[in-house]
Structures are given as C-alpha cells and as structure tokens.
Amino acid sequence: MYKQECYKIFTRKSLYLTFLLFIFFMLLPDGSHSIRQTSTYQSLYDEWRGPLTATEIDMANERLMKLEEQVDREMAEADELEGVFPKSIEDQAAHSVYVSVIQAGENINWFEARKENLRDKAFHPTETAYQAEVAQMEFELLQQLNEPIGFYQTTTWSSTVDFINTLGFIFLTVLIILGLAPVFADEHSQKVASLIVSTKFGKTKVAFAKIFASITYIGVLFVSLHVINVLIEISKFGRFVDGTVPLQNLYLFIQSPFSLTIWQYYALALGIQLLASLMIGLLVLFLSIITRHAMLTFFISGTIIGTPVLFRQLGLDQQLIQHMTQFSYAELMRVKGLVDQFIVFRLLGQPILYPYLLIAVFLLIASLNVLLIYWQYRNQQIVN
C-alpha cells in the first residue's frame, strides 16, 4: 500500500520538471571569488585569520589608509575614471581584507558594548524584575560566547547557510505543496475514492500509508535539494573552510546570542527545516482532504504560508502582525529568524526563548494535524 502511494507521488512528471527548473536557478552564477584566489589574500588570511587583537585592527587601518592614497594617485593619473580602483587584483584583494578586518573590529566593539549594556540592565534597580531577568538571560547567553568575532573566510559557508532561508525555503515549500496537494484530493478527482474507502483498510491504514509516503517524498526532496546545493556552492565559491568558528562571523547572524559554530548551526538549521517541511506537508495533506481539490489545496496552503512573508516584505509591523509572522510556517521553515536575534516571550511570568516556544507550538500543531487528518479521512462521506 505504502509502495503504491509512493509510486503515485513519484511518478508525477511535473514535480521533476519543477525540480529541474529550480536547480537551473541555483546554477545561475552570482558573485566572483577571484579575489580570494590571489596570493595577497592568502597571505593576509594566513596572517590575520582568527580573533583580532587591537594591534591587528590598527594595522589594517594603517594599511588601508596607504592603499587609499595609492588609489587616489592611480585615479589622478588615469585617463578616464571608469572601471575599478585600485587597478590590480592583488590590491583589490588587500582592500577587501582591510575593510573586513576593520568591520570585524567595529563589530567586536559593538558586541562588548552590548554586553556592558546588558550587565547594567540586569543589575540596575530601575528595571522591572522581569526586564532584569530577560537582560540577565541574554547577558548569560552572550557570556558563553568567547571572542566570537574575528577575521575568517566564510563565503562558501555564508552562501550555503543563506540558501536555507532564501531559495531553499521557497523551492522546498513549492515542491512540497505541489507534490502533496493531490495526495488525498486526486482520489476524488480521479473517482477512485469510493473504491478505496469501501475496502477493509480504506478508512484507516491507507491514511497512514499516504502520510508515510508523503514523508518519504519530503525526505527525498529535502536531501537531494540540499546535496545538490552544497555541490553547487562548492563549485561556485570553493571548498568549505572555517566552519568551526562562531556563527556570529556570518554577517546575518552577527546579533545571534547563541553559542554555535557555523557548521553546528547549519546542521541544526537543516534539522529544523526538515521538521518544518514535514509540518508543512501535514498542513497540505489536511487541506487536501478537506478541499478534495488539488488546485484549491495548492492555493490555500500557498496563502497560509506566503501571507506572513508578504506582510514582512510590506513592512507591516503592528504587534499582531509581527506575532503572526513570528509564529508562521514560513518563519519556522526559514530557520534564520529563530537564531539571529535574542527574542523571548513571557509565559507564566517566565521568559522563554522564541525558538523553543516556536518549535513547541508547531509540534503541538503537527500532532493535532495528524489527528485531524485521520479523523477527517475516517469520517469522509462519498457523495459523487
């Protein structure tokens, strides 16, 4: 039964076409990494890689100043001002390293200031007890981060991690909805429902066979998409280096309070995204049962998942809408928002970290969803 349910899903040509189309998008080139292949970059990288000392940052500032003087001279001597300055790629590499190091230095200062500020809040009597508790919580998280920011080569990782909350999120969501919307609905449109439901296991086991086949589909889809992405990232940006450094070295996670290395985050994010994929799958299956219509299922689930994203894009930030966005399938599926900031919710007077609350809420929704699917399926009436 399970095998045939898988067969039904995996023989749909449109899924393969969509998948290939998405792979094509992923193959589109973005950026160049020629700078990182220069010897200047390599030697500077060897010199400065790691947490940065004040001397190193000063040195970067000095050298940048010199380089900019050189750029000014180049520009004065040049016949026309088109193109990139400095002219030589080696100098360009040096420029980009200096800027990164200086930026990292600023981030380090900012991070220390943030900790200082939190310490004040946590122990200052003017704050309410709850606010002090929250500040203390954040402070303690930050304490666990020991010199998190430095100079590292994170391009490949950064792009790979980014895939999860951008294209990966979109492609997975679309393919899950596309693949699973017909699972229950098509039995009706193909007029097979009455045959199935009148069999011994047609009201019970078959629902689970369909759920398991859907999980299989999601698993296969998830693994292939991410494996292909990793291969593409490597071919675009070179091999993975510096995965063992703190997550805060990725630009998007600079504010994250969590003590995770980049690869740990990647593994965690994959896990959460897989979980989110399964939950979206359950949502789609449920809609597939109650609408009995694949297209309708497609649009309703698209709306449920897409609306919060749209709100965010539109910059709507009323409290209610913000909460709606925070507790949406899309946000869970993108993972990034769970980790990139310190957010707590007050639950029974206690601060609870947003990612824990979000995952707990969705685990509850998912279990409810399974029950609803089973109940709806069992009690369906066939009238046409």
Ligand X SMILES: Nc1ncnc2c1ncn2[C@@H]1O[C@H](COP(=O)(O)OP(=O)(O)O)[C@@H](O)[C@H]1O
Cβ-closest residue to ligand X?
383
Residue 168 burial (C-beta neighbours within 10 Å; 0-12, 13-18, 19+): buried
C-beta of 12 vs 114, nearer to other proteins:
12
Residue with tokens 């939190």: 118
Binding partner of residue 198 among other proteins, ligand X, none, CB under 5 to 8 Å per kind?
A: other proteins
Q: How far is the CB of 342 from other proteins (least distance, A)?
A: 51
What is residue 252's DSSP assignment?
A: G
Cα distance between the two ends of the chain = 24
Q: What residue 1 binds from other proteins, ligand X, none (CB within 5 to 8 A, per partner kind)?
A: other proteins
Q: Specify which residues 151 forms β-bridges with.
A: 50
Strand (E) or helix (H) holding 187:
helix 182-189
Q: What is the DSSP letter of 351?
A: E
Instruction: State how far the alpha carbon of 243 is from the alpha carbons of 9, 152, 155, 249, 334, in Å.
Output: 37, 9, 11, 10, 20
Nearest to 334 by CA among 177, 220, 171: 171
For other proteins, the binding residues in 169-198 under the rule CB under 8 A are: 190-198
Q: Which does 190 bind (CB under 5 to 8 A by kind): ligand X, other proteins, none?
A: other proteins
* Window 2-21: contact mask with other proteins (x via CB under 8 A): --x--xx--x----------
**Which residues are CB-neighbours of 52 under 8 A, at least 6 positions away?**
101, 104, 105, 108, 149, 150, 151
Partner in contact with 197, chosen from ligand X, other proteins, none, beta carbon below 5 to 8 Å by kind: other proteins
Residue 11's binding partner out of other proteins, ligand X, none, with CB under 5 to 8 Å set by partner kind? other proteins
Segment 100 to 159, residues that bind other proteins, using CB under 8 A: none
Residue 384 sits in the site that holds ligand X (CB under 6 A): yes
Element (H or E) spanning 123, and its range? helix 89-123
Token pair, residue 137, equals 């919580």
Return the one option of other proteins, ligand X, none that residue 206 interacts with (CB less than 5 to 8 A, by type): other proteins
Q: Rounded to the nearest whole angstrom, what is the least distance from the CB of residue 136 to other proteins in the complex?
A: 57
Rank residues 129 and 383 by Cβ distance to ligand X and give the closer one: 383
- How many Å apart are CA 282 and CA 176, to the nearest integer? 10
Binding to other proteins (CB under 8 A): which residues in 365-384?
Answer: 381-383
Q: Which residue has the tokens 């769970």?
A: 338
In contact, 139 and 118? CB cutoff 8 Å: yes
Residue 194 contact, options other proteins, ligand X, none, Cβ 5-8 Å cut-off depending on partner type: other proteins
199 binds, among ligand X, other proteins, none (CB under 5 to 8 A by kind): other proteins
By beta-carbon proximity to ligand X, the closer residue of 76 and 383 is 383
261, 237, 31, 52 alpha-carbon torsion, rounded to 10°: 40
Instruction: Please work out the total of residues on this chain that contact other proteins, with binding judged by CB under 8 A.
Output: 25
Going by C-alpha positions, the residue among 257, 271, 284, 281 that lies closest to residue 359 is 271
Closest approach, Cβ 189 to other proteins, in A, equals 8
Q: Which is nearer to ligand X, 126 or 384 (CB)?
A: 384
Contacts to other proteins by CB under 8 A: 1, 4, 7-8, 11, 190-206, 381-383
Binding site for ligand X (CB under 6 A): 383-384
